[in-house]
Amino acid sequence: MNWRIGWLAGTAWMLAAALTAGEGETPTALTLLQRSGKRIPWADAFKIPSPHFLVTTNTNEKLAKEVSQALEQQFQEMFTRFRLGKPPKEQLAVLIFAERAEFMKYRADHGMRDSEHTVGHFDPTRKEIVLFWSDDPEDVLSTLYHEVTHYVTSLFAPRGNMPLWVDEGLAVYFETAQFKNGKLTTGQVPYGRLLHLQEAVKKREYHSLAQLMKMVDYDRYDLLAYAQGWSVVYYFAKNNLAHGFGLYLEEIKNGRDHVQAFKKAFNGATPEQLEQAWKTWVLTLEMQSARGWYERGLALWYEDKNDDALAACDEALKLDAKFSKAKHLKGRLLYELHRPADALEVLEAACKEDPTDPRSFFGLARVHEALALAGDKRGSETAQEQAYLKALNLRPDYADAMGLLAWLYATAEDPKLRKIKDAIPLAERAVELDPTAEVLDTLAECYHQNGQQAEAVATIKKAIALKPPNIEYFREQLAKFQAGK
């Protein structure tokens, strides 16, 4: 099976007092499947209006109300602390879909290209922010605060006129916001980005401030530019330069050249003259955050630097031995570094420490699969099934776990685990939740194993139409299904 590894973050916020894995007998796959289908139709979505936003979501009403309160507080701070003019009278639409499939359909209906990494977007033409409630609530809310910042800066000055470092720097400044007990707290240091920046400054591999301020586009992989944009905004906010920063923005709004605007706002100073003080200040910021090391590890993993990412996870766990996200990432990295036995130890510990997080059990299932394929007796198909069921017990709509359990039931060597009648509805629901080429391949394989060759061929053709990068595998599947082998 050709499958992207879905080690998604937990959903404790959504699952409040969820069923605890290991507590009593784990329900069967079909019982869990019945839970996953209970969704609020979009037509019945909750709508929470506020002075500047209209939040619509088919997740739950509590989430809608909290998002509405948080956004109003962010909005107020942006117009007061950063002097971004007068708030508009109209409301911005914020749509939060419960499922990725709903989000993808909405994007497709409005002519937008989809990406598996897209969690949300701000559409300045339609004046709306659209997201889906992924498996990581923190990621969704971070994206939301980030996109609302772009909305506000677009009101202040046309997007093409607002300097990119300001636009993205402010967005990163607000993306770390935390909403708790009815209050939004902003200005937290994004320690993962800080670590990246400090490494670059020490190695003299950063963008000069003059270069940064001239950039009109960031490469999506240039995470350093985002970190630097944030650091300059934060530097101004923390070093009694906020007034000058406000004047700079006013000059930009009035159409003045960016370089001249900077000189006028900062009494003739240039970015080059401020650079040394900025660098010194950046290096004085202390990094004693387990979350920061975890975030740095995550960024290094995105860059395919798995050994460095693993070292970052170890640093996080030195500061907080029970920081579950770092432990889960470490387990994943060990798995990808072909060290399943080490990954097994890490993930088993994670499951014991926090038996309410579905991703731990999902990762454990993948490790048992790898061990079994390597002939290691610590891995088995039965252990895989139990881990997937525990993940689904915690999150019944966990599409990755659902799809892989369906694959196991359709292809297991153990006759007792060959449950094709269970596999098909599981795979069909997984396609509803996450209609990627890989999930369609799972459904096609299930149809094939059940002798439904016409359905298998039709489904794999849908997968091929999505033009997956490893398309030869899918073509081989098509040939197999057409031959009825």
Structure tokens at 151: 């909305």
pLDDT at 117: 62
Spell 112-134 as b/e; 16+ CB within 10 A means b: eeeeeebbbebeeeeebbbbbbb
Who's near 404: CB < 8 A, 6+ residues apart? 1, 3, 365, 366, 388, 442
Of residues 287, 346, 350, the one with CA closest to residue 315: 287
| Predicted model pTM | 0.75
Name the burial class of residue 377, with classes exposed (0-12), middle (13-18) and buried (19+) by CB atoms within 10 angstroms of its CB. Answer: exposed
pLDDT at 158: 58
pLDDT at 114: 62
CB 360 within 8 A of CB 368: no
pLDDT at 85: 63
Is residue 320 classed as helix, strand or coil in its secondary structure?
Answer: coil
- DSSP conformation letters of 89-123: SSPEEEEEESSHHHHHHHHHHTTPPP-TT--EEEE
pLDDT at 116: 58
Per-residue pLDDT of the chain (485 residues), as tens digits, is: 333 233 333 333 233 323 333 345 678 888 888 877 667 889 999 999 999 999 999 988 999 999 999 999 999 888 877 666 667 778 999 999 988 888 888 988 888 876 656 778 898 888 899 998 876 778 889 999 999 999 988 887 755 578 889 899 999 999 999 999 999 999 888 988 998 999 999 999 999 999 998 888 877 667 899 999 999 999 988 887 878 888 888 888 788 888 888 888 888 888 899 899 999 999 998 777 888 899 889 888 988 899 999 999 999 999 999 888 899 899 999 999 999 999 999 999 989 888 888 988 999 999 999 999 999 999 999 999 999 999 999 888 889 999 999 999 999 999 999 999 999 999 999 998 888 999 999 999 999 999 999 999 999 999 999 999 999 999 999 999 999 86
Q: What domains does the chain contain, in order, with CATH numbers?
A: 12-39+338-483 (1.25.40.10), 40-97+99-132+136-189 (3.40.30), 191-284 (no CATH)
CB 141 within 8 A of CB 179: yes
pLDDT at 4: 29
Of residues 365, 409, 403, 360, the one with CA closest to residue 383: 365
pLDDT at 162: 82
